[in-house]
Structure 1
Amino acid sequence: MTAQGSSPGASAKTHFDAVIIGAGFSGMYMLHSLRDKLDLNVTVFEAGDGVGGTWYWNRYPGARCDSDSYIYCYTFDKNLLQEWNWSERYPEQDEILRYLEHCAERFDLKPDIQFGKRVVEVIFDDNSELWTVRTDKGDSVTTRFVITAVGALSTANMPPFKGLGSFKGKCYHTSQWPHDGVDFTAKRVGVIGTGATAVQAIPEIAQQAKHLTVFQRTPAFCVPARNGRVDPEVTRARKADYDGIRQRIKGSFFGFELNFLPKGVLDTTPEEREQEFDRMWDAGGFAFWLANYQDMFFSKEANDIIADYLKRKIRSIVNDPVAAEKLTPKTYPYGTKRQPLDTNYFETFNKKNVLLVDAATDGSIEEITPNGVRAGGKEYPLDIIVIATGFDALTGPLKALGIKGRGGRMLAQEWEAGPQTYLGVAIAGYPNLFTITGPQSPSVLSNMPVSIEQHVEWITECIAHMRRNKLTTIEATPEAQDAWGAHVAEVVNATLMTSANSWYMGANIDGKAHRFLPYLGPEGVGGYRRKCAEVAEKDYEGFAFSSHGQGWTAHPIAAE
């Protein structure tokens, strides 16, 4: 019996040129590139029953993209760019999933994807120089290359709440949402968390629930999304200019058509900067975060001026001054945590059926009881608990794969003190293993499809180079890896980013090492792209190749 969408041949084979783990944006394009451009024998293992990755699993109320739809898509195929039409500025989860399903059909990807199979072990054999990949369904295959396409935000963070198993009502994590939805009608609902996911879900849940209690540990700086239908004339202009758009986002700092203002906020008059702030606030989206004054991430004094504008906005929107103060961030600089885009988030706390419980002023969560949540010595009765506590970001999905490299070294153990990679795409001691948008690459600090395409294309050309030169393995050298890690730390330590207890720092997971996980600059996505190209041009500087061993061909004979 084969997995849904998988061809009998794909699931019967036991040896491949490459195994890809995950069938979201990354895994789908990686499959297309290796299979259709290099003519390799490839399979994909996907834990879900369909394509989509993040957009297959995250179906919570209000789930939608927070990158503009015209750039939150594949750009490698000009015809695809012209034929697909998005309905809104920020498409909802179901529309993005339809888009990815369309791409899977368009490029005939499903015959080489094995659905419903979660990878549990990835082991390198020093003698054969092959990887063995095993799944929870009993599959065991060998492969020369393993490419992880597991996503940076795919391992749920489930805090160890005391008494969670005793709750008599229903409990859901936002990243593991029932596919048939949840009915909140006439229910007392509690949402734990106020990050980017909760900011999307809370206004939607509040419209349906009898009563909503929001449990907040750290308030968020939010800016309006300003979602809506896109003017058809704007859409036509963008479709006519996609060559320019592709060039601009690839060379940009964050993978958007956004650039910092070429001056410091401290160099402006109060009137001038207020006008700029109003312009960005009214426009909505990430401009306030990613196209603000250039000293925002470096000077606390400059950051305070920008943060003060947002604090004034919160106080002007929320009617109850006590609730407004609870919702106003005071413990970290603006922009050092993930920027949530909101639609009526602060307005939701003006509703009579919504209560805010703040850890700092009302007491933190002590336990989950059979009837609700106890916080600050008070019990809040609930019928449904929604846990919106995010993810074990970047490292969690990779550590969960059971990866063992040369000499049996275990990735999960080696990364206990934080990730160590070269360019965020390779790891010393793990030959022929590539990590799409892995730790220490721009990944979550960029518009993800832009960084995904760059990694997929770089990996594809690297494997093509190996085939042309009859090379068997590639792996990062420890020296290059150490130098890259030092560079990542040096760049971010010059900013305010490390001063916040954010998931960028691993601070949301108990016991996780505090180390900045993605890569920030100094020239962002564009600079990183140039660095990777330079490494390739210098005969893959920082990598070691071998040409001994079994060798490989484009079409190894699969054992039946």
Structure 2
Amino acid sequence: MSVDFDAVIIGAGFGGMYMLHRLRQKGFTARVFEAGTGVGGTWYWNRYPGARCDVESVQYSYQFSPELEQEWEWSERYATQPELLRYANHVADRFDLRRDIRFETRVTKATFDEKANLWRVEMEKGDKVAARFVITAMGCLSSPNTPKIPGLEDFKGPTYHTGNWPHEGVDFTGKTVGVIGTGSSAIQSIPIMAGQASHLTVFQRTANYTVPAHNKPLDPAYVRDVKANYREMRRRAKTKPAGIDFTINMASAIETPAAERNREFQARWDYGGLGFMASFSDLLLNDDSNKTAADFVRAKVLEVVKDPKTAEALVPKNIIGCKRLCVDDGYWSTFNRPNVTLVDISDAAIERITPTGLRAKGQDYTFDCLVLATGFDAMTGALLKVDFRGRGGATLKDKWNEGPKTYLGLTVVGFPNLFMITGPGSPSVLTNMLPSIEQHVDFIADCLEALRARGKTMIEAEPQAQEAWVGHVGEVSNITLRSTCSSWYVGANIPGKPRVFMPYIGGLPAYIQACEKVVANGYEGFALA
């Protein structure tokens, strides 16, 4: 049977758009299927108040086109969701991508036809297409996690999830609002919601570390300098574990005299952003060094928050960096407002949602609106919403019953010609996503070109290569402190999800080197046919 397309791409975020562009460049036919009405992925769906990127905008951007780098003007140090969405739309228009994207089309099933060596892809509305390759570009944080709290459907007022916010926005002026969750999206949105609502009640299970963004409009002189030296900045970034160009202090925190250590922490704090964790080289390798950073941030909470009981509840108790570090704009000071109440539920879960609010720790709380800032089923959630069926009808869900297993975070044994952009087992969420996306897309595009040049039509990971990579991902995760606490990195926020550290923590440079070695050795670890 003939194929409709060389490749079907699922998702029109930054990964899907660049994948389409690269395949076109190489002469392949491709079609993108996108559930939303527009491009942008994460920045299409996440429209909650205060949503913005935690990587500086001049670095959280495509680098495949020098012309795009030069023509686009970022307005702020950390781009807001609306600006990032404008950027995505600009890219779609500039490279004429929309003609090969089908919006409002959700892929529900993809089955590998072993006789024809192709994928049969089915949509929610009943459409079907056949493609030689399927490439998922569905994002790592794109499947909202709605907690299974008793009575959730009983609440009479509107319920919102930060990961699926109404596109028209929400005005909380004069409303009483309850917020469940204090992760990244809550830390960004709570200060803005508090400025609108007549009263805001925040229900916190786990206090999180956050560092100030010190966001500001970009200085034109700074932008000119960046654009004049973009190539060098990108080159430096690729040598850093997170793929972000910031200076890593190679000294040990615990071996540095206290006064000098605190000066370094304060300088990073005053600059703002994720570079705080690069204050010293061993913050995620040595418990004692980590404690010095954690204590520095804890002291900041106590300095800012005036009520001692509230301040103590907001002080994080776990290791700094084992959960995603948040970047904020006035989060802790929000709890000094008279219209904001913090309810600590760390020692007792919410009992139930009621028609007028919720019950926690034996007390009833009432509010007009409920906001679920409860995060995502990360890394695997979106992938497992599609019924992928490989050889012998085996499902991806069954294959990953004990946790995701991949080769390079790109492919899975038993699922030929299926590629995942930033899948589990790749650096993805531990890095600047844009260069990680581009590296994966380039790998996949080059792979398809290599297959064509060799007269091959199928590629599949070999079992021993996948097992070796899974083992390596596990080994390097155990070296650091990141895997020592309950976080979405290990699926701990989803009841019943296997506890496996999902991203590759060895750093972007080591990962790129591993991929390059695979290619140099004739796609080592893959079977080609």
> Normalised by the size of structure 2, how large is the TM-score?
0.99
SS of structure 1 residue aligned to 2:5: strand
For residues 458-477 of structure 1, the C-alpha deviation after alignment (integer angstroms, 9 at most, x for no partner) is 11100000000011100110
- Name 1:348's counterpart in structure 2: 334
- Name 1:160's counterpart in structure 2: 148
- Name 1:399's counterpart in structure 2: 384
- Name 1:425's counterpart in structure 2: 410
Alignment of 1:33-432 (within 5 A): 33-35=22-24, 37-289=25-277, 291-330=278-317, 332-360=318-346, 363-432=348-417
- Name 1:514's counterpart in structure 2: 499
* CA displacement at 1:259 relative to structure 2: 4.2
- Name 1:452's counterpart in structure 2: 437
Q: Are positions 1:467 and 2:456 aligned together?
A: no
Distance in 1 between residues matched to 2:221 and 2:54, nearest whole Å = 22
Letter paired with 1:359: I
Structure 1 vs Structure 2: percent identity of aligned residues? 52
Distance in 2 between residues matched to 1:381 and 1:177, nearest whole Å = 22
Q: Are positions 1:23 and 2:6 aligned together?
A: no
Say what the alpha-carbon RMSD is for the aligned residues: 1.0
Distance in 2 between residues matched to 1:46 and 1:292, nearest whole Å = 40
* CA displacement at 1:444 relative to structure 2: 0.2
* CA displacement at 1:15 relative to structure 2: 1.1
Letter paired with 1:536: V
Contact 2:234 2:245 in 1 (8 A): no
* CA displacement at 1:14 relative to structure 2: 6.9
For residues 420-470 of structure 1, the C-alpha deviation after alignment (integer angstroms, 9 at most, x for no partner) is 000001111110111000001000000000100000001110000000001
Letter paired with 2:346: A
Contact 2:12 2:34 in 1 (8 A): yes
Contact 2:10 2:32 in 1 (8 A): yes
Distance in 2 between residues matched to 1:14 and 1:263, nearest whole Å = 56
Distance in 2 between residues matched to 1:245 and 1:302, nearest whole Å = 29
Distance in 1 between residues matched to 2:463 and 2:230, nearest whole Å = 40
SS of structure 2 residue aligned to 1:297: coil
Contact 1:254 1:447 in 2 (8 A): yes
Contact 1:25 1:52 in 2 (8 A): yes
For residues 13-50 of structure 1, the C-alpha deviation after alignment (integer angstroms, 9 at most, x for no partner) is 97110000000000000000001x11111100000000
Contact 1:14 1:140 in 2 (8 A): no
Distance in 1 between residues matched to 2:70 and 2:185, nearest whole Å = 31
Letter paired with 2:341: L
The runs of 5 or more residues in structure 1 that have no matched partner are 1-12, 547-560
Instruction: Please list every run of at least 4 consecutive aligned residues from structure 1 whose deviation after the TM superposition is greater than 2 angstroms.
Output: none
* CA displacement at 1:260 relative to structure 2: 2.8
Distance in 2 between residues matched to 1:222 and 1:274, nearest whole Å = 17
Distance in 2 between residues matched to 1:16 and 1:250, nearest whole Å = 33
The runs of 5 or more residues in structure 2 that have no matched partner are none
- Name 2:524's counterpart in structure 1: 541
> Normalised by the size of structure 1, how large is the TM-score?
0.93
Distance in 2 between residues matched to 1:24 and 1:154, nearest whole Å = 10
* CA displacement at 1:360 relative to structure 2: 2.7
Distance in 1 between residues matched to 2:3 and 2:86, nearest whole Å = 31
Distance in 2 between residues matched to 1:282 and 1:335, nearest whole Å = 19
Contact 1:170 1:385 in 2 (8 A): yes
SS of structure 2 residue aligned to 1:251: coil
Distance in 2 between residues matched to 1:249 and 1:39, nearest whole Å = 30
Distance in 1 between residues matched to 2:384 and 2:247, nearest whole Å = 35
For residues 69-88 of structure 1, the C-alpha deviation after alignment (integer angstroms, 9 at most, x for no partner) is 00111100000000000000
Equivalent pairs, count: 528
